Structure 1
């Protein structure tokens, strides 16, 4: 039983998992009223699927400590499947 408990403790200590961590969630415009805006991010990536882009935005929002994000601009660049996404981050 000690071995089972040791692995999560080791992974947590090196930053691979965090206890009770919550991922940033996408929020609609009507939901962000009253939230504290903490910044804006731009994400550029190659992807055939917009859901992949949303996942990348969520990861970047997590890295910046955001609880919520709202995608405000999506552009497909001249290269096919090359996306540029802007999101506002909220605490």
Structure 2
């Protein structure tokens, strides 16, 4: 998978993970991209360690499931680290 495909995967996985989690967080699109990419990396690593499978091609379902699961974990860690604080505008 190429660099830009991985960024797109991370962004979409981050948006899906953000939508799956209850409540609101103050992450904008750039932070969602960063957390989603970190989640995709984490999901791929955990999939390799725990399940013996890693990230595959862009259109494989296991790639998306691992990336979304990793992004959910990263968003939960981010929420715990920031205390669930929201930005006020």
User: Which structure: larger Rg?
Assistant: 1
TM range (shorter): 0.3 to 0.5
TM-score between both structures, scaled by the size of structure 2: 0.33
TM-score between both structures, scaled by the size of structure 1: 0.32
Give the number of the structure whose residues are more often strand, by fraction.
1
Give the number of the structure whose residues are more often helix, by fraction.
2
